[in-house]
A and B are shown apart, each in its own frame.
Chain A
Amino acid sequence: MPQLTAIITGASEGLGKSFAIELAQRNFNLVLVALPGSSLPQLASYIRKNFNIRVDELEMDLTDADAYPGIFNYLHLTGITAHMLINNAGLGNWAWFEDKNILFYKKQIELNVITPVLLTRLFLEQCDKAETSYILNVGSLGGLFVVPKKQVYGATKSFIRYFTKCLQLELSGSKVRISLLSPGGINTKPELLVMNNKLKGIGKATIMEAEDVARIAIDGLLKGKKEIIPGLANRFLVLLNSMLPGVVKESIIRNRLKLILKS
């Protein structure tokens, strides 16, 4: 079997880095994309040293219009066909709507919405139709629940949910597998490490380590799962969400909101 190649966006840190390590362990060649100055070259050379795979690194800002064709032009020139696309790059937030400026929201929507759509479009164009290809769109449980202070982020993830579900229908007859990953909280950035470790009870149970999320996600993607929800507590929440009437859910969220407003 020929070695497969995976493109990972936002590969230098957090979940993206875990995807890179996970796929390297599964003998995939890698095309890693991340912002300049995010120590991507160090990660790439570390993976090259420890695994017998090809690693290409592309340092670019995915909100630049040239970046999207740039990735695939590079692959075309180097004779690489990608078999897997992990749309992982994204920008989160935890702030009242009026506390962030318009440039932030513009960037957030570009990175969370426009980037995965355009990359998916260009990825499908270069796919080898005879081989199975895989797309993993990183959504969020936030795309399912209405969470205060996550207004734009949650909305972008709802977009990804609709986009992925719809593509699954359109591509159902082809050899393209497309999965939606809906994780709860993940311990990635330093400030999240501090915040998440203050949580108790069910809140704490929804938080997972990036390497576990990555492993579960790739397992699910290769099996052709439509939606991957890592973690028992998170699956329980989704089940609860589908059973509770809208009135009850709204009152829970309102109560939470009161608590947040007080603090």
Chain B
Amino acid sequence: MPKKILPNRILPLILLTNSANKFVLHRGKPILSCNLSMRTILVTGATGFIGRQLCLALAEQGNRVKALCRNTGHPLLIKHPNITPVQGDILYPASLKKAMQGVTEVYHTAALAKMWCRNPDDFYETNVTGTRNVLQAAADADVKRVVYTSTCGVWGPTLNFPLSEDEPRIVGFPIAYERTKYLAELEVQQFVNRGLDAVTVNPSRVFGEGPVTDSNTVSKMVGGYLKGKWRVIPGSGEQVANYAYLPDVVAGHIAAMDKGIKGNRYILGGEDISFNQFFDTVKNVSGIKHNLVRVPQKVIKFYSHIERVKTQLTGLPPFFLPEFADRLKFDQKYSSQKATTQLGYRITPFADAMQRTVNYLKQA
């Protein structure tokens, strides 16, 4: 009798082909639960500030996430049923080849984002050679798309108006991180020209709830302020920079994978805020009031030269370097208009984002 056959034999097939549903029915009852639209996604830099939240967001959406890390026992790796730690290193192509098996999408967030490194060649190795390795492995594995996490640092200082993607950089590349991220973008462009589908995202200064590490300068500053250890405002305090909230940046990554145009770049930023506004906001949302001293740029520059000599003589990490002191003469204002229009990127108001960050850092 046809009426009986339909639900038992054909309905499961219909459900299979409309694969958004999770249940396959047998005699009207679900017999197994699986997400048929489940994607397998590789995230490099899975223990990093952006990478770990990205893994979590993708896993929460029901994707199978392979989290590439050098040490699968890393304390910052997020534990989640959909996240599988995969041992590997972007400097070892063989490990990437293995990690790419069955993968359709790659987020390449791994990078050396510190201010200083004992071996200066590490910046080139990790950020340029590492990126080339990831792109090559992705091309070999016929991955559908790679989203590459770059930085607004490829533009660096800006003039009077917020900068957008097609506008030029106005200074050189004395900062190793910015230089190597720029060179890595050229690698991405070359792979795109050869046919690989890749989209680049350029977050500005990212902050939010997450571990305080060397590459996370905003959290270091805010955390220091809350503990009463950070007591300075650089220069006049009028210098403006752009601050992006971590969950916005993570959502921007996923939107770039879904909606980005091949070969394009997208600034993922937040509000343009001066140092004065920054610390006023931290004061307001934390309720903690410390007096801050304004230190002239020239004094910082002088001190940074001492730090450089100290580092050269002792090999100890510097607190600050001259090329960063020079940056205090410029604003770094960026427009996220393109991402807003094309990706539906959204910016959380700075005060709200800072409130949540401060709450997190107070508990940590």
Asked if B186 is at the interface of the complex by the 8 Å CB criterion, the answer is yes
1/0 contact string of A42-82 vs chain B (CB within 8 Å)? 11001001110000000000000000000000000000000
- What 4 pairs between A and B have smallest CB-CB spacing? A209-B172, A50-B159, A50-B160, A46-B167
**Chain A, residue nearest B163 (CB):** A46
Residue of A nearest to B179 (CB): A193
What residue of chain B has the Cβ atom nearest to residue A40's Cβ? B168
Partner of B174, one of A18, A46, A51, A209: A209
A-B contact count (CB 8 A): 44
Distance, CA A43 to CA B159, complexed state (A):
13
CB distance from B84 to the nearest CB of A (A): 36
Asked if A190 and B172 sit within 8 Å, CB to CB, the answer is no
B167 lies within 8 A of A42 (CB): yes
Contact B159 A210 (CB under 8 A): no
Query: How far does the Cβ of B301 sit from chain A's closest Cβ, in whole Å?
Result: 14
Q: How far is the CA of A209 from the CA of B156 in the complex (A)?
A: 14
Q: Taking the complex as formed, is B183 at the interface, i.e. its CB lies under 8 A from any CB of chain A?
A: yes
Q: Is A194 an interface residue (CB 8 A)?
A: yes
Tell me if A27 counts as interface (CB < 8 A to partner B): no
Contact B168 A187, beta carbon cutoff 8 Å: no
Contact with A along B169-180 (1 / 0, CB 8 A): 011111010010
Q: Decide: A197 and B172 in contact? CB cutoff 8 A.
A: no
Instruction: Specify the main secondary structure of chain A where it touches its partner.
Output: helix
By the criterion CB–CB under 8 Å, are A187 and B172 in contact?
yes
A21-B170, A46-B168, A197-B120 known, 9 other contacts, Cβ within 8 Å = A17-B170, A43-B168, A187-B173, A190-B183, A193-B173, A197-B176, A209-B171, A209-B172, A210-B172
Q: Are A211 and B171 in contact (CB under 8 A)?
A: yes
Q: Chain A contacts of B170 at CB under 8 A? A: 17-18, 21, 211
Residue among B168, B171, B183, B186 with max Cβ neighbours from chain A (10 Å): B168
In the complex, A52 Cα to B74 Cα: how many Å?
A: 53
Bitwise, B129-149 to A at CB < 8 A (1) or not (0) is: 000000000000000000000
Interface size class on chain B is 10 to 19
Partner of B179 from A18, A21, A49, A197 at Cβ < 8 Å: A197
A211 with B183, Cβ < 8 A, contacts A50-B159, A50-B160, A194-B124 known:
no
A39 at interface by CB-CB < 8 Å: yes
B161 contacts A193, CB within 8 Å? no
- B185-202 CB mask vs A (1 if < 8 Å, else 0) is 010000000000000000
Q: For the complex, count residues of A whose C-beta is within 8 A of B.
A: 19
A-B contact pairs, 21 of them (CB 8 A): A18-B170, A18-B171, A39-B168, A42-B166, A49-B160, A49-B161, A50-B161, A51-B159, A187-B172, A187-B173, A190-B182, A190-B183, A193-B179, A194-B124, A194-B183, A197-B124, A197-B179, A209-B172, A210-B172, A211-B170, A211-B172
Contact of A42 among B161, B168, B182, B183 (CB under 8 A): B168
Complex: how many Å from CA A172 to CA B173?
A: 39
Could you tell me which A residues sit within 8 Å of B by CB distance?
17-18, 21, 39, 42-43, 46, 49-51, 187-188, 190, 193-194, 197, 209-211
Query: Chain B residues with Cβ under 8 A from A210's Cβ?
Result: 171-172
A211–B168 alpha-carbon span in the complex (Å): 14
A43 to B168 CA separation, bound complex (whole angstroms): 6
Cβ–Cβ contact B186 & A17, under 8 A? no
Measured CA separation A51–B161 after assembly (Å): 10
B145 shortest CB reach to chain A, Å: 25
Q: Which residues of A contact B167 (CB under 8 A)?
A: 42, 46
Residues of B within 8 A of A193 (CB): 173, 179, 182-183
Once bound together, how far apart are the Cα atoms of A39 and B169, in whole Å? 12
Q: List A contacts of B171 (CB < 8 A).
A: 18, 209-211
Most chain A C-beta atoms within 10 Å of own C-beta, residue among B167, B172, B174: B172
User: What is the CB-to-nearest-CB distance from B259 to chain A, in angstroms, rounded to a whole number?
Assistant: 24
Chain B proximity of A171: nearest CB distance (Å): 33
Contacts of B161 in A (CB 8 A): 49-50
Q: Could you say which residues of chain B place their CB within 8 Å of the CB of A194?
A: 124, 183
B167 (CB) vs chain A CBs: closest residue: A46
A187: chain B residues at CB < 8 Å are 172-174
Give the docked Cα–Cα distance between A211 and B170 (Å): 8
* A46 and B163 alpha carbons, distance in the complex (Å): 9
Closest-CB distance, B163 to chain A (whole angstroms): 8
User: What chain A residues lie within 8 Å of B168 (beta carbons)?
Assistant: 17, 39, 42-43, 46
User: Which residues on the A side are within 8 Å of B173 (C-beta)?
Assistant: 187, 193
Q: Give Cα distance in the complex from A17 to B168, angstroms.
A: 9
Cα–Cα distance between A17 and B173 once the two chains are bound (Å): 14
Shortest Cβ gap from B285 to chain A (Å): 33
* CA distance in complex: A31, B34 (Å): 64
Please report the C-alpha to C-alpha distance between residue A99 and residue B56 in the assembled complex, in whole angstroms. Answer: 54
User: Quick one: closest B residue to A188, CB to CB?
Assistant: B172
Residue in B closest to A46 when the chains form the complex, CB atoms: B167
With CB as the reference atom, state the residue of chain B lying closest to A22.
B170
Residues in A with CB closer than 8 Å to B159 are 50-51
Proximity string of chain B (263-299) to chain A, C-beta cutoff 8 Å, 1 when within and 0 when not: 0000000000000000000000000000000000000
The docked-state distance in angstroms from the alpha carbon of A153 to that of B168 is 28
